[in-house]
Amino acid sequence: MSAVQIAPAILCYTKEELAHRVAAVPDAHTLHIDIMDGKFVNNTTIGTDVLAEFHFPPDKEIEYHLMVADPIKFIEALPGGKNSIFEVHIESVDERQMAGLQKLVAKKGSRLAWVVNPPTMLDKLEKHLAGVEHVLLMTVNPGWAGQSYISDVEEKMRALRAHHPHLTIEIDGGVGPTTIPRAIKAGANRFAAASAVFGQKDPNAALQGIIRLANERKK
């Protein structure tokens, strides 16, 4: 299996904060951008107006984590291209929309990933996994950074890994040096982390430390 990816998670409210955080993690391969609309979750972050104009470093992969009630509207407004991955909550779409989303994202030259909240079962997912970049299992209820890792989600990591040995399984929420080893054991191989990176004095050094730890554990 290829290297474990750690995506620094950026949950912010202004263009300045976004620029500051992007600049703080030059070694990130992927940036995880949290987008909330105040409807799907009870918080509102930076929106498509700022993101559509923002110049991310061209070598970065960007995963847009869409915690929004109308993901189609957001995908249409966000920049596409091969570096963009749109992460869509299966709770925000019905099965017909799930099929249509694959086409919409492909048209933008981008990739699609499904996100599953802690209480949501995996049944809806199985029929729509073909062609999908990865699955993100939330290990907190979305809305805020700095919450505690919900270890019960490891059951879903194990179940998904058992059925899909080659699938990339990302987790998001409470990810850090103590939770990464147990999540890897349960089957996760991609991580989004906010506090464990940006809550540290030197975010880039913290990121390097987590990348090292995760790749040692994976062996």
Tokens of 185: 């054991």
CA max distance for the chain: 45
Q: Which stretch binds ligand DX5 (CB under 6 A): 13-21, 48-56, 95-103, 187-195?
A: 187-195
Q: How many residues does the chain have?
A: 219
CB 76 within 8 A of CB 103: no
Residue type, 6: I
Q: Which stretch binds ligand DX5 (CB under 6 A): 45-53, 72-80, 102-110, 193-201?
A: 193-201
Range 30-59, binding ligand DX5 (CB under 6 A): 32, 34
Question: Which of 27, 34, 49, 152 does the annotation list as catalytic?
Answer: 34
Closest approach, Cβ 96 to Zn ion, in A, equals 25
CB 84 within 8 A of CB 78: yes
70 is catalytic: no
Q: Given candidates 147, 200, 208, 215, which one binds ligand DX5 under the rule CB under 6 A?
A: 147
Range 2-31, binding ligand DX5 (CB under 6 A): 9, 11
Q: 5 by DSSP, 3-state: which?
A: strand
Compute CA distances 187 → 22, 74, 151, 191, 209, whole Å.
28, 30, 13, 12, 20
Residue 126 CA to residue 166 CA, distance in Å, equals 14
Query: Is 217 exposed, middle or buried, given 0-12, 13-18 or 19+ CB atoms closer than 10 A?
Result: middle
Residue nearest to Zn ion (CB): 65
Closest approach, Cβ 32 to Zn ion, in A, equals 6
Q: Which among Zn ion, ligand DX5, none contacts residue 187 (Cβ within 5 to 8 A by kind)? A: none
User: Considering the rule CB under 5 A, would residue 170 count as an interface residue with Zn ion?
Assistant: no
Complex with ligand DX5: residue 100 or 151, whichever CB lies closer: 151
Sites of contact with ligand DX5 (CB under 6 A): 9, 11, 32, 34, 65, 140, 142-147, 172-175, 192-196
Q: What residues are labeled active site?
A: 34, 172
Sites of contact with Zn ion (CB under 5 A): 34, 65, 172
